[in-house]
Each structure stands twice: as C-alpha cells, then as structure tokens.
Structure 1
Amino acid sequence: MIDIQKALDLVLSQKQFYGAEEVPLTEAVGRFLAEDIFTDRDAPPFDRVMMDGIAIQLKDINDPLRPNYPIQGIQAAGAPQMTLKAPDHCLEVMTGAILPLGTDTVIPYEEVEIKDGTAYVKIKKAIKRFVHRKGSDSPNGALVLQKGKKIHPGDIGILATVGKSRVVVAKFPTIAIISTGDELVEIDEKPLAHQIRKSNVYNLWASLLQEGIHAERHHIIDDHGVLQTQLKILIQKFDVLLLSGGVSMGKFDHLPTVFEELGVQKLFHRVAQRPGKPFWFGYHKEFNTKIFAYPGNPVSTYVNHLFYFQQWLHASLGQTLQMEHKELGEDIPANPNLARFVSVKIDPVTGNVVPFSHNGSGDLFSLAETDGFLLLPQREKEYQKGERLLFLAIR
C-alpha cells in the first residue's frame, strides 16, 4: 500500500498527449488549446469612442471649453473615419465608432445640450477621456491565449476577435467505462431482491460529459474468462478504461489477476486513503492503454475519479488542474495511518466547509447532500478549524 502523493505521482507520470484536431469556434468551449493564439492587429484596431456624445479638439487639458460647438456631422459606428474640418466645431459620435480625425476628446451627451445644430456644453473644463486608444488592450502580434489553456466562454470572444473561425485543440482520449458485478442490472430493469441498478457508470459518464467527453459504457459479468476476453478487446480499442468494482479482496474480484494475464503493467494497487483504498492503476505495455480500476462503492469510485483521473486528464491535455482550497469549519481528529476524503457541506454564510456523517462509502444518496470532499492528509496533528485544505468540488 502506498501513500496518496506517491499514487498521484505515478498516475501523473502516465499523462499522455493524444494529438490535436481542428474544430469550429462554436464547438471549442471547454476544449484545451493546442496552439498559441496571437492578435492579428492592434486591439482595439483604432481609437474607439467609448460614449455617445460629441468629439472635439481640446489639445491642452488646461484649455477652457467653448460654450458651444456647431455640429459638423455624425460619426456612426462602422462608418469610415470622418475629419473635423474646423477646431471650433464638433462631430456627434456614437459608442464603438472610430474617433474622427482632428478630435481628441469625447464629451458625453449627459454633459451637453443639442439645440438647432449646435452642442451647448454644460461643463467648464474637460479631460481627454472616453477614448479607447488603439492597441491599448493588446498590440498586433501579442500572445493572448496560451497553448494548454482550457477555453472558457470569455476566450471564445477573443478567438472570434482575432479571426479564429476554427481552433486547434487537444484531442480527448477515447474512454470506456466498465462496470463489473453480477448484482448489477440496467436502470430500466426491475431488480430482484439481491440485485441493484447500475449507478457508478452513470456518475463517471456524467463527469466525463462535463469535460466534453462522450464515453462508452460497458458491463462485464464476474466471470474470469469473460472478463479476460472482453477486456482484451476493450484494451485494444480505447485509450483509457475506467472500471468500477472487482479490485477488492473478494473471491470474485478477478480484475488484478486478469490485468496481469493480459499484459497490463500494475503501477499500484491499494492506497493509504479512505474511502477508495483498493484503487488499482496501471497501463497496457503494448497498447499503452491507461487503466483506472476503482473500488465499487459509489463514494469510493467518485472520490478517486475526482482526485486522480481529473488531474491526469488535465495534465494530458496540457494544463495543470488548479485545485481549490477551503477553510475547515470545525476541528477533526488526526489519522496518522490514512489520508481521508471527508464529505462536506459549504456553510452558506461563512463559505467554510463542515463535515457531515453518512453511512460510509456505499451510501450513494449522501452525494445529494455533498458539496465536495475535503482531503485530510496523513499526519499526527489534528485538523483545526480555520485550516485551509484541498477541496474537491462536486460540480
């Protein structure tokens, strides 16, 4: 049995880039950039009017304003640049328009009165304001989005602005989610007294869907020969296998033996943590298929997936997953032998996390009350209220 940090290091040692693909901008949100993005011109590309009003030539900020300015015309957004022909005149300007040549200051409509083709100014002095200067956001050729960044909705606007109708992103690995166990039936079936419906595969499937990955779901019965035959096929077909169940110490937990027979290199089996201690991880030597074999209890499966797989996935796609930390809302006794993932709720007033009790790692329904899991590392000293610890959010 290894400690949690060693297990994570071994998982991350198997990160793998699966190549790149080009997708339409409209399908790029949530994906990971596989190219650096540069501006193709200054941003903004011209001196841009920031307020509806009038544009004048002020020159020196100490110059007093004229009491009124005859209006020469209107500079609309999207129209070619106009030129102020007389310095004692003005041009009406609209938000987003290019600043007219010969002007340097915008006075908003709130500070002027328009009457009979003349703008009467209500203020005595002005400063050179309400002009978004050319290149002030980013100069032409500047790096604005880095390779490896997860694309958020705000990034889509940047990509559109620099003309990226198609974006090069990291390919997702192909993933199969596999449940094992003769006690499991499909969700649309009525279970017998000794059976339960599948749930873990759907938790994992939904978690992957949030990442934009459409995984396949499979079920294999607890038969050594059947497991060996079907896993051999799946190992050759997919980049990653996520399994739930079959790795504990029971007489029907065949997976560790089957993996060995199929040429899978075990990197570890059993981690000094609770829940999820029987977690098994390895890779196939020939096909380089990564195998995450989680214990079957639902909370154990989910915790291992959030902590190990999510960090592996982000590392493989080019970005270190930024782990959140939360403040503990009460003291918790230490455990020098095991790291613990504690189910917590977030206090809506303080934002601190508070553990709550449930029926252990087999209590699927506790996930409905859980805001996330707080990682309590192995140590002799108790965990104290106010301490900030790693938090795995259930999104």
Structure 2
Amino acid sequence: MSDPHPLYTPMPWSLKEIRDAIPARCFSRSTSRSLLYLGRDVSLAATFWALATAIDPFFLELGTNSACPLVVSTTLRLVAWCVYWWFQGLMFTGIWVLGHECGHGAFSSHRPLNDMIGFITHSLLWTPYFSWKISHHRHHISHASMERDEVYVPKTRSDLGIPQSGTHIDYQEIFGDTPLFTLFMLVRQQLLAFPAYLLFNSSGQKNHPKWTNHFNPNSVLFTKAQRRAVILSNLGLLAMVCGVWQAVEIHGAAQVFKYYVIPWLAVTHWFIMITYLHHTDPTIPHFRGKEWNFQRGAAATVDRSFLGWQGNFFLHSVARYHVIHHFFPKMPFYHGAEATEALKAFIGDYYVFSDKPVFQALWDNYNACQFVEDDGEVLFYRDKKGEAVLFPAKT
C-alpha cells in the first residue's frame, strides 16, 4: 500500500453470509476417506521405522570395510538418521493433525470414532486428547479476543513494563537482544512451548489463576462435567509413560531416543511453528470488547505455504488452509483448497496469505510481534521499535 499508515476496518459480514458463500459439498465428512488417510500415514510411519532398523547394521558393516574410511561411514550413518528424523517427524506430525481433526469432529460424523482415534493418536504423541480438545475448542470460539482467547494472547505494553507511547522510550534498551540470544529463545520456543502451554498455561489467557494447566481436572479450563474426560486424558499419558519405560528396559534409552523421541520433538517443533505463524503476524488484528465477533476472529489468522509438497502431503496442508478451518472447524481438511478459494472470493482483502519462506517468517515475526497497546479495541502488534504496520481506522 502507498499509504505509510494503512488503516484497518473490521469485517462487516455475518457468519451466515460467509457460510452461504462456501459450496455445500465442502462441509461433507467422509469416514472412509479419513480412514484411508490415517491408514496411509500409519503405514508410512511403520515403513520409515522399518527402514531405520537397517541404518546401524548397514553402516557399521560398511565401516569395517577397509575401502570405506570409518569417518565416511560414520558421517553417512548420521546423514541417514537425519533423513529418518526429518521424514518421521513430518509423518508423526501428520498423524497428530488427523487427531486434531478428530477433536473438531471433522474426521467423521461419528463422535465415538473421532474420540477413539483422537485419543489413541494424541496419547501416542504426548498430547492429552480430551483436555486439549476442550481448551482448543475455547480457542476457536474466542480466537483473537484479548479477553477470552486461550492461546497466543499478545502481551500488552504494561505486561512488559514499557512506558506509554508519547514519552521518551529507549526500545533498544528494552528489546536490544543479540541475534544469538534471539535464536536461542526461538529454539527454546520451538521445542518447549507446547509442553509449557499444557503444564503452565504459557502464552495462554493471563486472567486465568496461577498454575492453570491441562492436567488438573479442577482447572478453570474445564467444567465439572468435563473432569472425567481430563482424567481419561491423563490415564492415556500414564499408559505412554509405562510403555516408554518398558521400551527403554527392553531396547535401551539410546534406541528409544533415536526411533521415537527425536521424531516426537520434531512434532512439537512443527506444531508450534505452524500455529505460531498462523496466529502471530503484524498484519492481523486482535480485538477487545464489542469489536470482536466470531467471524472477525476467524479471519485474524494467516494461511501459509509451508514446506511445499511435503507440507501438503505429510501435514495434510494444515498450514495452507487454516483460515477456513477457523471459520468452520468441522470442515475436513481435504475440502480446504476449494473452500478457501470461495472464502477468498467473498471476503477479499480480509483473507491473509503469505508465501514468505516459513523459517524467514518465523524469524521476522518473532522480532516484529512484541506487544500490543493497553487501550483500544482493534489492536496490531508492535515491533522492537514500538512500530506497527497497520492501524485501526477511526470510527
């Protein structure tokens, strides 16, 4: 835009008007089609696992061959494990995405089947299925609301102790982190943010009591009627603790770490990276008070081109068609492309897409999205210099 201070006016349409613009077939759920995707993903994960069992024997034998120096065989062995970790991490994440579909009821129209598959797949990947399903639903119904959203709630100026604008502020002193420190913080976020959210409500709604977490059945996140589901989620993870402990006893910690733990760490990384970039961007608004409504909040997210064909195939295009998912969470992912085109045609510039390389976007947005103002009903992130790229139009 040529305007150095482009202005934003909240979206005017009702949810019904937007829904009517989407082809009715996009809301159809096919249990058989979803099961085929699940079968494909599980089969590929098992294949990758089976292939990995040949890595150590092959390269150890190669290292005994005098024609192949030990340093070469060792390097090739490490490369082979890195290839396994990359693709198995993506595959595990794809299975997690299907569990996420189950949590929304998008996998099938049969709720017991959704919950059975979601519980199994998420427990295997250290996610408390029912507990997270409940809080994630609350995130969807309140997305981009400063008062009610459950995750990626922006910090305010006062949260960070930054003086009010209009006074002399040394932003360099406040945010003057070295690139190396920023990199460290990003790596920490990518590997630990999801466990920290589940355990400590990190990045969650700051109005919740201290020690809010996803494992306490009496947490403010849950109603009394939901307590049994929370306990069941905990039992699923307890079963995983027993299973992993037994695997370590039988196969050794190193083998469990190579085959399972590192790909699982990749799941937490991809999941946090995808969701962070969906919900954290200087071009999307957050709302207070009466300026928020469901459809405005749903549009306040970003679709991204993510890892090219690998993101589309392994991750079921979860990053590419996220905006439509926020409007209609029960819509299956395989209708995302068609529904997104219809949504984009109807809401126009309110639809946000970015094809910036995702690791560059992660770095840029981590630096650009520092805080929002304490006042105002339509808010945009400000960067490490206290500057924003969009501003609400005065009404």
* TM-score, structure 2 as length reference: 0.25
Q: Which has the higher strand share?
A: 1
User: Looking at CA atoms only, which structure, 1 or 2, has the larger radius of gyration?
Assistant: 1
How high is the TM-score relative to the length of structure 1?
0.25
Taking CA–CA contacts closer than 8 Å with sequence separation of 6 or more, which of the two structures ends up with the larger relative contact order? 2
**Between structures 1 and 2, the one with greater helix share:** 2
